Every structure is written in C-alpha cells, then in structure tokens.
Structure 1
Amino acid sequence: MVNTSRGYRAVFDVREFRFVFGAHLLSLLGIVVGEIALSVLVYRLTGSPLMTALTFALGFLPYLIGGTLLSGVADRYPARRVLVVCDLLCAASSAAMALPVTPVAGLLVLRCVNASIGPVFSGTRAATLGEVLGTGDLFVLGRSLIRLVSQGAQLAGYAVGGLLLTVVSPRAALVATVAGFLASALLLSLGTGRRPARTGQGGALLASSVSGLRQLLGRPRIRALLLLSWLPPFFLVAPEALAAPYADRLGAGPVGLGLLLCGMPVGSILGEVLAGSLLGPRGRERIVLPVAAALLLPFLVYALRPPLGLALSAVALAGMGMAYTLGLDQWFVAAVPEELRGRAMTLQTAGTMTVQGLGMALAGAAAEFVPVHDVVAGAGVLGTVAAGPVIRSVVRSRPSK
C-alpha cells in the first residue's frame, strides 16, 4: 500500500506511473521543439507573420474536433493501444513535416492532424491514471505532476528549441518531435499494463462520442465542474497573449517579453507544488472555490499601467491560483461514471485548450480598440464576475451527504 502522506514522492512509487511520466516528458519536449521549428519554417517559406501565428493557433483550435467527435476512442478501445497508436500517428505526421517536399499547406494540415489527436491521447492518459493510481489522492497528485512537467517542459523546450535552431535547419529540428513521439510510444508499450476497454465497441464512433458528451453535459454536477475548469484559463491567457505589445510599450525589449511569458507557468508550477506538498486532500478541496473566485484579481494591477516587475508579479500570482485544479480534479473524477471517464477527461482537456485559444484571440481583438493594460485589467474584472454564477452552480450541485 502506497503511503499517500508522502505527497508527490508516493506517486513515483508506482512503477507504471513512472513510465507514463517519462513518456509524457519525452513527447512533450519533442512537441515544444517542433512548435518552434515549425513556426520558423513557415515564416521562412512565406515571410508572413499571419501564417506564422496561424501555425500556433492551429495547435489549439482542432482540440475541439478531437475532443468531441473522437472522444469515444478513449473508452471503446484498450488504453495502451490508444496511447501507442496516437504516438505513432503523431510521429508519422511529424516525419512528413520534416520532408523537404512538404509545402506550407501540407505543414498546416499536418499540424491540425497532431492537434486533433492530442485531446484523445491526453484524455485516455488521464483516464488511465485513474486505473494506475486509483481515483483518490494519488490520482490528483499524478495529474498535477503531468501539468507540472507540461509547464516545465514548455519553458525548457523553448530554450532547447531556440539553441537547436542555431545549429540545424527547422526541418532537421522537427526530427526531435518524431523522436519524442517514438520514445513515448516505446515506453508506454513496455511499461503500461494491458487493460480492457471501458465500454464495448458497438455502434459508430461518432455516435458513441456524441452520446457520451450528451450524458456528461446532461449531469448538472459534471457540467458545473467542467465550467469551473474552463473559465479561469479563458481569462488567464490575456497577459500572455498581449505580452509582446505590453513589453514594447514599457520599452522592456526581448528580455522583458521573455520574463512576462515565463511569469504564468512559473507561478502555476509554484502554486501546484505548494498545494500538492503542503496540503492534504481535504485542504486542497477547501481552497477550490475561494481560489477560483479570486485568482484573476491580480490582473486589476494592470489598470495602473504597472512597470515590468509589478506586472510580472501580478501574472505569477494569478498563475499560482491554478492550484485550485488539484481539488477540482478530485471532485471531477468522483462525479464521472467509470464507463464515461475517458470521454470526460478528453472533453475536459479539449475544452481547456479551446478556451485558451479563444481567450488569446479575443484579447488580441480587444487590444485593437482598447489599450493593452485596460484589456488585461478588464479580463480580471470580467473573469471574477463570471466566476460567481459558476461557483454557485458547483455549490448547488454538491451531492447530498
């Protein structure tokens, strides 16, 4: 029996989780390096900032397709098979990106393919963690570790990718993405157990996906928890989306821009580590609603046109508020029936990525008409106000004891 009082260390006592964690780290580093290489490649081929930005946007928007129309895959096929096949498909499409004959249109299509597969993979992995770690505290800490390595790999991957592109071409750098996916597939194949599908394979995949989503969204408790997991990220991306123009107006240069972009992930890592290490299961559940209600308030500092240091502190403090997701994860997995767990995790992941993409787009659009600092401050106000009804719906949907 694993001692859950040992926090994150207890999760690594589970051998199977160590393989899942390692696979995630390898594939994620490859993905981040590939994103940088692809954006540079598209810009060199087209000379268009719009096309370059589109390569990043296409990493968000197809999540909605994969998270809805393909979500049934996560429950109707054995998890290990789904994870390995997803890795191999992404490796194949990334290899096609690296070919010299692949045109820009082909690069964008392949980017969409990988982005559509992403939520299926993430949802299946999250559901598998419930079988590997159970659905108690270890599951919460395991999901937290996956998020932590995602944030850390994003920071390290951008640095590695930038250095790599100083010595090799963008297409050669895309090979790192292929290697990451293949290494992930190998670890998952060798290190995870064979488990049966959670549901049968009767009926069409699309019908199964839509039916599962209808069942999930038809339950008030699940619907309320999904909204609470999506609302803060929608507003939290505003300062990141507008970091470049804000740094420019401050005269902070590339260094200031880099610091502003690092603020949110660094704050998120710190908040989750503290909540996961210092709080027990009940403590993490107690902070969910108050932290979710207040985490966007630091953005109000932007109304004062803060200097770089104060703006960075506000962004990092807001990022720390994402620690509310640890307790929320426990509520969510408890609310979802086992036969719908894969589809639920896929929907949650896809929704988070989609609202972040929409949030970035809307923040950018608003900044065309309103000063950047007012847009970020406005996101803090609107997000805090919008959190009220969502939190009330979560409270009302609590199961009676």
Structure 2
Amino acid sequence: MPIPDSPARPASYRTVLAVPEFRALLLAQTLATCGTVVVQTTLSVLVYARTGSALLASLAFALGFTPYLFGATLLSAVADRCPARDVLVVCQALSCAVAAAMALPGLPVPVLLALVLVLGVAAPVFQGARAAALPDLLPDGGYPLGRSLLRLVAQSTQVAGFAVGGLLLLAVPAAHALLASAAGFAGAAVLLRYGTRRRPARLGRGGSVARASLAGVRQVWAVPGLRPLLLLTWLPPALAVAPEALAAPYAAQLGAGPAGVALLLCAAPAGSVAGELLYGTLLSPATRARLLVPSAALIFVPLLGFVFRPGLLAATALLVVSGLGYPYAMALDQRTLEAAPAPLRGRALTLALAGLMAGQGLGFAAAGAVAEFLDPSLVVAGAGLLGSAVLLLCRGATRRSPVRAAPGPSTARFPNTRTA
C-alpha cells in the first residue's frame, strides 16, 4: 500500500538542506567555487612571475568575468534546450579540462589568458542552468532560500578559496595548484552527475543556439513584469560596489593602512551574511516581498553618511548596516522566478546573473574612474544617492507592472522533518 505524502511544511533553511539533490548541488558549487578562486589566484601569481607586468597579472584575474555578457547573450538558450543536469556536468567537466590544460608546462601567457576566457564563457551558462534547476529541486517557497544558501556558501568559499590558494602556492608549484583546481571541478561534475536527477529540458532542440539565445534575450526583455526586476537585479549591486572598489584609497586617506583596507572590505559581506540569516529565519515570504525595495534602500542610505568622511570605525559600521540590505535579493529571486514564463526561465535567470556580474565589474571601473577626480568619500556618497534614485524609479515600475504567476514545473515537496 503506498504511503501518502506528508503534509508540506513552510520552507526554511533546515527543510531546504533536507533535500538530498540540493545538498549535492550545494557541495558541488563549493568545490567549483574553490577551484575557480584557486585558478584565479594561481594564474595571477604565475603570470606576474613570468612577465613582471601588474596589468597582465590583473587581466589573469579579471578576464574570467569579462565574457559573462557574451556567454549570456549567445549561449543562454542552452539552459532551456538541454537537461539541466547535463549542462551542469558538462560545464564542470570543461572547467576541469581547462584547469588541467593550464597546468601544462611552458604554456605561453596569451594561451593561459585565452583559457581563462573559456572558463568565463562557461560560468554564466552553469549559473543560469543551476538557477533554472533549483525550482525543480525545491517546492514553492524554497527557491529564494536555496539561492540564499548558495550565496552564503559562495561568499564563505571565496574567502576560503583565496586562503587555500595562497597556502597551496607556498607549499607546491603553481602547476600542482592548478591540478588541485581541476580535481575540484571533477569532483563537482561527479556530484552533479550522481547526486541529482536528470530531468527533461523545458524546450525542444532545433535551430541555432546563438539565434535562440538572442531571441530569448529580446523575449525576456519584452515581458513587462520582468524589466523592473532585471533592473533591480543589475543596478543596485553595480552601485553598491563603490565602497569595496575604493576601500584602498579611502583607507589610505584615513591613514589606516592594510588593516584598514581589510576591515572595510569585510564589513559589507559580514552584514550581508547576518542579513541573509535573519531574513531567511525570521521573515515570512510575504514579509520579504513587502520589504523588497525598503531592504534594497538599506544598502544605499548608510552610504550617504560618507559625505561627512567618517573615520575607520564609523565607516565600517555604516558598511555593516549597508550589508544588511543585500538580502533584498531573496524576495527578488522569487519574483523573478514567478515573472519568467516557463519556456524562458533558463534564459531569464542566465541573463539576470550575467548582468549582475557584468554590472559589478563596470561599477568597480566607474567608481575608480570617478575617484580620479573626486574624493573617494564623495564617490561612495554619490553611489548611495544614485542607488536611492534608482530604487525610487524601480519602485514605481514594479507597482505599474505587477508580477504575474507563471506555472512552475516543480512538483517536489519538502519532507516533513521533525526535530528530536
């Protein structure tokens, strides 16, 4: 006699982690993120050692982010036209092969930089397929919490990855560190292959992937309810990176030295982690939805205080408070998922994530360029003012274009877990 389904429970971090497929996905991302960070760190050191050029060393680090818009524009249809598990496994297998190729002795620096570009092209496809697959793994209400956990783990893993990369380079040659990265990507591919279930693609194949991707970008932008949500995904993070981009010159202005730079860089991420945990455990989905724009405003209002050129401790406190607003993305993730038509879900989420990464890169560059002419504190305050204005415009747009509910393919349910 079949056992009836247990009653569904409200989504929480505990119930999200109780889903075996999500645990496999989370662990795979941890390995992949560590591998990516170690590759970036190792190549920066390796290229600088070979060339003595700080520019080429920085390019080795930054080139991985450059192809995000290219990959999202021309390859985003892959997330909808192929089974998500296949896309995730192939992306990690490709990353493994690229990292192993980087370890070959005597590769010219241009070849190494070209291989970094290959990693960067695969990244938005992987992230879009992963985001599109989450609703299939998790039931209603679980998607924003799953994305929240992925962000928390990614932030922590990036810090750990930089530390591990530095220690590896002290202990072993660069080629061995790159092989360790390749092993991490291989482990992620194995976890995804055997830890998640293969589900059919949302769309059938046929025609050019690039043509379908470009058409998908136009179709995604044509959905009225998606436009303000995409702007909320892209613009606030692009402006919010100003304090991070200018941490070094601002700390130097205060006479704080490297310790001050580290303190300023850690402040907003610390607030973000605390905010994610508070939002995820204390607020209901309905409350998070109501607080979407006010939460995003919390990112920018504290930045206005930089107009007074605060000291190190005051600036750190302002950035911690600013970081508490970053979990606005939890409500935004859910609304974006609801607004995206099912056949366009993969392309919509790939475009959102790619625009987020590209926008942050542009935000870094813009903040640095403006700081050549203005005091860093004024640039940060200006970013706070611009961010507040953007939110006012987006708030009106979201009111005029209510999000419609899109049918979701997921039939998964949380297990009825009990605490002992």
TM-score (norm: length of structure 1): 0.96
In structure 1, the residue matched to 2:111 is 106
In structure 2, the residue matched to 1:58 is 63
Instruction: Tell me, yes or no, if the aligned pair for 1:41 and 1:171 is still in contact at 8 Å.
Output: no
Q: One-letter code of the match for 2:77?
A: G
Among residues 285, 290, 293, which one is paired with 2:289 in the alignment? Answer: 285
Partners of 1:303 and 1:209 lie apart in 2 by 43
Instruction: Tell me, yes or no, if the aligned pair for 1:231 and 1:387 is still in contact at 8 Å.
Output: no
Q: One-letter code of the match for 2:154?
A: S
Note closer, same or farther for the CA distance 1:3–1:46 as it changes in structure 2 (3 Å cut).
Answer: farther
Note closer, same or farther for the CA distance 1:122–1:185 as it changes in structure 2 (3 Å cut).
Answer: same
Instruction: Tell me, yes or no, if the aligned pair for 1:297 and 1:318 is still in contact at 8 Å.
Output: yes
1:352 aligns to 2:356 (yes or no): yes
Among residues 80, 85, 90, which one is paired with 1:85 in the alignment? Answer: 90
In structure 2, the residue matched to 1:241 is 245
Q: 1:164-243 counterparts in 2 under 5 A?
A: 164-243=168-247
Q: Which runs of 5+ in 1 are unaligned?
A: none
Instruction: Tell me, yes or no, if the aligned pair for 1:155 and 1:262 is still in contact at 8 Å.
Output: no
1:380 aligns to 2:408 (yes or no): no
In structure 2, the residue matched to 1:149 is 153
1:119 aligns to 2:124 (yes or no): yes
Among residues 146, 156, 162, which one is paired with 2:166 in the alignment? Answer: 162
Among residues 304, 317, 322, which one is paired with 1:313 in the alignment? Answer: 317
Deviation at 1:107, TM superposition (A): 1.5
Identity %: 51
1:391 aligns to 2:395 (yes or no): yes
In structure 1, the residue matched to 2:415 is none
Partners of 1:245 and 1:175 lie apart in 2 by 36
Instruction: Tell me, yes or no, if the aligned pair for 1:2 and 1:13 is still in contact at 8 Å.
Output: no
Partners of 1:213 and 1:66 lie apart in 2 by 12
Partners of 1:190 and 1:397 lie apart in 2 by 41
Partners of 2:101 and 2:359 lie apart in 1 by 29
Among residues 17, 28, 35, which one is paired with 1:23 in the alignment? Answer: 28
Partners of 1:50 and 1:397 lie apart in 2 by 45
Deviation at 1:311, TM superposition (A): 1.5
Q: One-letter code of the match for 1:271?
A: G
1:139 aligns to 2:143 (yes or no): yes
Q: CA RMSD in A?
A: 1.6
In structure 1, the residue matched to 2:17 is 12
Deviation at 1:4, TM superposition (A): 4.0
Q: One-letter code of the match for 2:224?
A: P
Partners of 2:356 and 2:7 lie apart in 1 by 31
Partners of 2:206 and 2:329 lie apart in 1 by 34
Partners of 1:352 and 1:107 lie apart in 2 by 26
Instruction: Tell me, yes or no, if the aligned pair for 2:89 and 2:193 is still in contact at 8 Å.
Output: yes
Deviation at 1:298, TM superposition (A): 1.1
Deviation at 1:398, TM superposition (A): 0.7
- Give CA deviations for 1:180-205 in whole Å, capped at 9, x if unaligned: 11000000000110111110111111
Deviation at 1:59, TM superposition (A): 2.3
Deviation at 1:23, TM superposition (A): 0.5
Deviation at 1:399, TM superposition (A): 4.4
Among residues 364, 368, 381, which one is paired with 1:364 in the alignment? Answer: 368
TM-score (norm: length of structure 2): 0.92
Deviation at 1:321, TM superposition (A): 0.6
Among residues 36, 42, 57, which one is paired with 2:41 in the alignment? Answer: 36
In structure 2, the residue matched to 1:128 is 133
Partners of 1:312 and 1:68 lie apart in 2 by 38
Instruction: Tell me, yes or no, if the aligned pair for 2:296 and 2:328 is still in contact at 8 Å.
Output: yes
Partners of 1:369 and 1:171 lie apart in 2 by 42
Partners of 1:308 and 1:234 lie apart in 2 by 23
Q: One-letter code of the match for 1:263?
A: A
- Give CA deviations for 1:116-175 in whole Å, capped at 9, x if unaligned: 1101000101111111113x2111111111111111111222222222222223332222
Deviation at 1:370, TM superposition (A): 1.3
Aligned length: 400
Among residues 323, 327, 344, which one is paired with 1:323 in the alignment? Answer: 327
Deviation at 1:94, TM superposition (A): 1.3
Deviates more, 1:366-375 or 1:9-18: 366-375
Structure having the larger proportion of residues in helix: 1
